Chain A
Amino acid sequence: MTHQREPRILAIDAGGTMTDTFIIDQAGDFVVGKAQTTPEDESVGFLNSANDALSYWDTNSTRAFPSLVTGIYSGTTILNRLLQRQGRKVGVLVSRGMEDYFKLELGEQTYLGYSYSDRLHVVTHQHNPPLVPRSLIRGIPERIDTFGDIAIPLYEEEARKAVEELLEEGVESICVNLLFSYRNPAHEHRVKELAEEVMRERGTEVPVYLSSEYYPVRGDFPRLNTLVVEAFVAEPSRKQMKLIDSRVKEQGARFDLRIMASHGGTITHEAQELARTLISGPIGGVIGARWLAERTGIPNVMCTDIGGTSFDLAIITEGEFDIKPYPDIARTLLAIPLVETDSVGSGTGSYIRVNPTSNRIEIGPDSAGYRIGCCWPEGGVDTPTITDCNVALGTLNPDYFLGGDIKLDRDAALRALQEQVAGPLKIDVYEAAAGVVELFEESLKNEVLARILGKGYAPVNYTLLSYGGGGPLHVGGISEGLGFEQVLVPSWAAGFSAFGCACSDFEYRYDASIDLPVLPGLPDEVYEGVAAMINAKVAGLREKVIGEFAKSGFSEKDISFRVLLRMQYLGQLRDLEVNTGREWIDGARGMLDAIAAFEDLYGKVYARAAKSPELGYLIPMVIVSGTVDVEKPALPDEPLQGEEPPASASKGEREVFWKRRWLKASIWEMGELKAGNRLHGLAIIESPSTTLVVPPECSVFLDGHRIFHLQRDEAEAEE
């Protein structure tokens, strides 16, 4: 393709070792650049990486950046600081009696992130090193009760003494997390005043973080964790993000670099709450999927991302993904909203072993990751992986991995599989490899089905979207027999997550606990009162959103607001997030509409017959989200041509071992296929970053958006 390239969108993914840069041009084409991450000044690694990407297009950052319209950053800096416990010296003030938060933790934190077998294996559970040492935690006598009433007044002298002691210890910031402060922040506010008084007297100044200002939500432990993460590691990372932002502008870009945040929107480095940029990895693809669904008019999407180390799943229903209010990362429970994704420790780099006790094949949960497998001797891997099976079977072209940048050794893969899998099982090596791939796909298929059925939905109403480097390779196996409405594979599947980040809104979202009970069948005045109480919370959150956007120069009229409510039946345990689609809850009508929307959602997620309006409702949380318009990637739009692919796309044929027999597969170059082309299986479509396998009895159709539709040739099969 030889059009004039005009880079439009920049997406940066700064990992612990490598920084990936993803640049998209006006036609939707993209390049990926890589460079080593430079932790002292991340902007150096980022620029190297961007220039590496642009070099494929024979240009560089100074020439290309002025044409960019938007840039998104996601990185693991904050996460790495948290994992290594490298951060500021933080002092913590809590309600007296609660000083051992970090020693006791919540039981769940001792096995978060473990495989299922280890979770059951209590001897493997372990306490985490505390985020803050006990010596920097002080308890203050006071108590707010669950209704927000003062049960024990704040002992001001004790509070002053505690602050003095912490300052004496040389803390760089102070976090205050008192019980039920989300109900009534009076004591926290008073502690802050006292702390400021003490600091004035001593002539020092350190920032004071209040949980009621940052995360006014129920759950004192996740709230404290989040507050400490904010002060301990997020704040120090702000400087790095600022540096990258100014570096991008120096190169001629005319936009504020935005950072991917856990709630699925992007924010700037000036945002008050940076902790929520801690988790952004797997959610990019989900946001990309939502955007794609919106553009192509698909309401329900099952997102599946097969990467090197994991299989990530998410569900989009009627254009919306789910939000998890208390996610965990790095074995730490947090009180921030996160786009709900499930991750299974099974990817193309997953190790294959034969369990000596049961003599069965086990896949993962650990993996070779970027070291691919035994077929890449430079990686130093000595246990075979799923990729080794694909290379052995002939589905993966060993000379065209990453466009041929990395040469894979098929014999090495066969040797490892023979020695470690086929040998012990006493079967043929190709049968073993095919069996492993079948098992792998079968287990992923079960995960997909479990997610959809678990939510009470059916595959027939959903579109399966497959992406990630390994997605197109296994999509045929995963979708087989599930009866999805359609199966889609974007031709840019390998870069779909980074692409997805670029599709995200500029959005601030704030949550606050309210715990408001609402009874059914009461006079309108009562609902008007409830609406007024919600609106009082909304007003506070709205001010926060306006304040954040003001830092980027947007005023209230540029922002579109939405109020969301987390609602549940009174006495039940699980709440659902209800999008009211309004800026305010307008009186009794607005409240009743929200209740109706909840009933409707509950009926869909669980069952209509399970609706229990007679119990009444509880509104645990009020959420305000504000977005402003930003430039997003354009979907490729090409005129449809004939079904017959051009001769230039054909790369000949290859022998492939497919389910117990050798078949001839036609090989195609993905970039040469034209919109409208149709290919019949067994066909293998190769591109530098991914490989799409079309199984026998299937065909793919490339639509005008360069998305492949995988279809079963039922008619032909019947003939």
Chain B
Amino acid sequence: MPAYDRETLEMLLDGKLPWNEVRAIMSSFKDPDRFDKMVEIMQSRVPWDDRILLPLGLHLYIASKPDGSRVVKCDCGYEFGDWRQNWKLEALIYVRDTEEKMQEIYPPLMHSNPEWIELREYYCPRCRTQLEVEALPPGYPVVHDFQPDLETFYKEWLNRDLP
């Protein structure tokens, strides 16, 4: 069974592992303790103590607070509220819906027609880190990316109770 040391996993997380090593990891069986090791690395990197239950994306986590509530938190500690709510509703939003705004990041003619598709960028209100971008027709509601089944994940995949 493969097992990787912390240094390798940190490089993997930071995208610094050479491609051939990443590929070897992808092609072999999953190391059974990867989840716990990764959460441990993330936990040591964030400046707060609430326990990480599940990473939710780049810079975002579901964490458990001392009072037992579960919230979505950013790297910086900003809390987006209950994990079952769409965190995007609490984020700062920048919408690119004109040619001019599109061409700040794309060459002319290489971007979508803003009348058909707009870009919505979500930022953390405290540290201003970009957390997510969605491309949707104007007027389409904010997408709730996904809501993990925390309970089942812990019970049936990790074989333990959700803390």
Taking Cβ atoms with an 8 Å cutoff, the residues of A that contact B are 115, 117-118, 121, 123-124, 126, 353, 355-357
Q: How far is the CA of A353 from the CA of B27 in the complex (A)?
A: 14
**A115-B27 contact, Cβ under 8 Å, with A126-B19, A356-B1:** yes
A361–B19 Cα distance when bound, in Å, is 28
Give Cα distance in the complex from A356 to B23, angstroms. Answer: 20
Contacts of A355 in B (CB 8 A): 29
The smallest C-beta distance from B35 to any residue of chain A, in angstroms, reads 14
Report yes or no: B27 in contact with A356, Cβ–Cβ below 8 A.
no
B19–A123 contact, CB under 8 A? no
Chain B contacts with A in 101-157, Cβ cutoff 8 A:
none
B7 → A minimal CB distance (Å): 21
Complex Cα gap A170–B23 (Å): 36
Instruction: Verify B26–A356 contact, CB threshold 8 A.
Output: no
Neighbour of A353 across the interface among B19, B26, B29, B32, CB < 8 A: B29
Within 8 A of A (CB), among B19-66: 19, 23, 26-27, 29, 32
Which residues of chain A are near B27, meaning CB under 8 Å? 115, 117-118, 121, 124
Partner of A126, one of B1, B23, B29, B32: B23
A130 to chain B minimum Cβ distance, whole angstroms, is 15
Which residues on B sit within 8 Å (CB–CB) of A356? Answer: 1, 29, 32
Q: How far is the CA of A115 from the CA of B24 in the complex (A)?
A: 12
- B32 CB contacts on chain A under 8 angstroms: 356
Instruction: Select from chain A the residue with minimum beta-carbon distance to B23.
Output: A124
Chain A: CB-nearest residue to B32 = A356
A355 to B2, CA, bound (A): 12
Q: Is the interface of B mostly helix, strand, loop or mixed?
A: helix
Q: How far is the CA of A357 from the CA of B30 in the complex (A)?
A: 9
Query: Cα distance A121–B32 when bound, in Å?
Result: 20
14 A-B pairs besides A115-B27, A118-B27 with CB distance below 8 A are A117-B27, A118-B26, A121-B26, A121-B27, A123-B26, A124-B23, A124-B26, A124-B27, A126-B19, A126-B23, A353-B29, A356-B1, A356-B29, A357-B29
- Contacts of B19 on A, CB cut-off 8 Å? 126
Closest chain-B Cβ to A374's Cβ sits at a distance in Å of 16
Q: How far is the CB of B156 from chain A (nearest CB, A)?
A: 14
Instruction: Please indicate the chain B residues that have their CB under 8 angstroms from the CB of A117 in the complex.
Output: 27
Q: Which residues of B lie under 8 Å from residue A121 when comparing CB positions?
A: 26-27
Chain A residue contacts of B23, Cβ below 8 A: 124, 126
A124 to chain B, nearest CB (A): 5
CB of B34 to closest CB in A, whole Å: 13
A662 vs B23: C-alpha distance in the bound complex, in angstroms? Answer: 43
With A and B bound together, what is the CA distance between A356 and B29 in angstroms? 8
CA–CA, A590 to B19, complex, Å?
55
Give complex CA distance A121, B25 in Å. 13
Could you tell me the distance between the alpha carbons of A115 and B32 in the complex, rounded to whole angstroms? 22
Name the residue of chain B whose CB is nearest to the CB of A126. Answer: B19
Q: How far is it, in angstroms, between the C-alpha of A356 and the C-alpha of B27 when the chains are bound?
A: 14
What B residues does A123 contact at CB under 8 A? 26
Chain A min CB distance to B110 (Å): 15
CB distance from A208 to the nearest CB of B (A): 35
- Cα distance, A520 to B120, chains bound together (Å): 63
CA distance A441 to B27 in the complex (A): 24
Could you list some 18 contacts between A and B, CB below 8 A? A115-B27, A117-B27, A118-B26, A118-B27, A121-B26, A121-B27, A123-B26, A124-B23, A124-B26, A124-B27, A126-B19, A126-B23, A353-B29, A355-B29, A356-B1, A356-B29, A356-B32, A357-B29
In the complex, how many angstroms separate the beta carbon of A377 from the nearest chain B beta carbon?
Answer: 21
Q: How far is the CA of A126 from the CA of B1 in the complex (A)?
A: 25
For residue A355, give the distance in angstroms from its CB to the closest CB of chain B: 7
Q: Report the bound CA distance from A115 to B26 in whole Å.
A: 12
Q: Complex: how many Å from CA A321 to CA B1?
A: 42
Instruction: Give Cα distance in the complex from A421 to B151, angstroms.
Output: 33
A424: nearest chain-B partner, CB-CB: B1
- Which residue on chain B has the smallest CB distance to residue A357? B29
Can you list the 8 inter-chain pairs with the closest CB atoms, starting with the nearest?
A: A124-B26, A118-B27, A124-B23, A356-B29, A126-B19, A124-B27, A123-B26, A356-B1
Q: In the complex, A123→B23 CA distance in Å?
A: 9
User: Cα distance A117–B27 when bound, in Å?
Assistant: 8
B106 nearest CB across to chain A (Å): 19
A351 CB → nearest B CB, Å = 11
Chain A residues within an 8 Å CB radius of B29: 353, 355-357
A123 to B22, CA, bound (A): 11
Chain A residues contacting B26 (CB-CB under 8 Å) are 118, 121, 123-124
The chain B residue with its CB closest to the CB of A353 is: B29
Q: Measured between alpha carbons, how far is A126 from B29 in the docked complex, in Å?
A: 20
Nearest B residue to A118 by beta-carbon distance? B27
CB closest residue in chain B, given A356: B29
Contacts of A357 in B (CB 8 A): 29
Closest to A117 in B: B27
Q: In the complex, how many angstroms separate the beta carbon of B83 from the nearest chain A beta carbon?
A: 27
Q: For the complex formed, measure the closest distance between the CB of A338 and the CB atoms of chain B, giving whole angstroms.
A: 26
What's the nearest-Cβ distance from chain B to residue A66, in Å? Answer: 48
Residue of A nearest to B26 (CB): A124
Could you tell me the distance between the alpha carbons of A126 and B32 in the complex, rounded to whole angstroms? 26
In the assembly, what is the distance between CA of A357 and CA of B29, in Å? 9
Q: How far is the CB of B129 from chain A (nearest CB, A)?
A: 25
A128 → chain B, closest Cβ, in Å?
11
What B residues does A126 contact at CB under 8 A?
Answer: 19, 23
Please report the C-alpha to C-alpha distance between residue A117 and residue B19 in the assembled complex, in whole angstroms: 18
Taken together as a complex, chains A and B put the C-alpha atoms of A353 and B30 apart, in Å, by 13
Question: A356 vs B32: C-alpha distance in the bound complex, in angstroms?
Answer: 9
A121's nearest neighbour on chain B, judged by CB, is B26
CA distance A355 to B29 in the complex (A): 7
Residues from chain B with Cβ under 8 Å of A118 in the complex: 26-27
Complex: chain A residue closest to B1, CB-CB: A356
What is the CA–CA distance of A390 and B32 in the complex, to the nearest angstrom? 30
Question: Nearest-CB distance from B21 to chain A (Å)?
Answer: 13
Q: How far is the CB of B4 from chain A (nearest CB, A)?
A: 16
Chain A residues with CB under 8 Å of B1's CB are: 356
Closest-by-CB residue of A relative to B29 is: A356
- Cβ distance B2 to chain A, nearest Cβ, rounded Å: 10
* A121-B27 Cα distance, complex, nearest whole Å: 9
CA distance A353 to B29 in the complex (A): 10
Q: What's the nearest-Cβ distance from chain A to residue B22, in Å?
A: 9
* Alpha-carbon gap, A355 to B1, bound state (A): 9
CB contacts (< 8 Å) of A353 on chain B: these are 29
Q: Determine the residue in chain A with the shortest Cβ distance to B27.
A: A118
In the bound assembly, the distance between CA atoms of A117 and B26 in angstroms comes to: 11
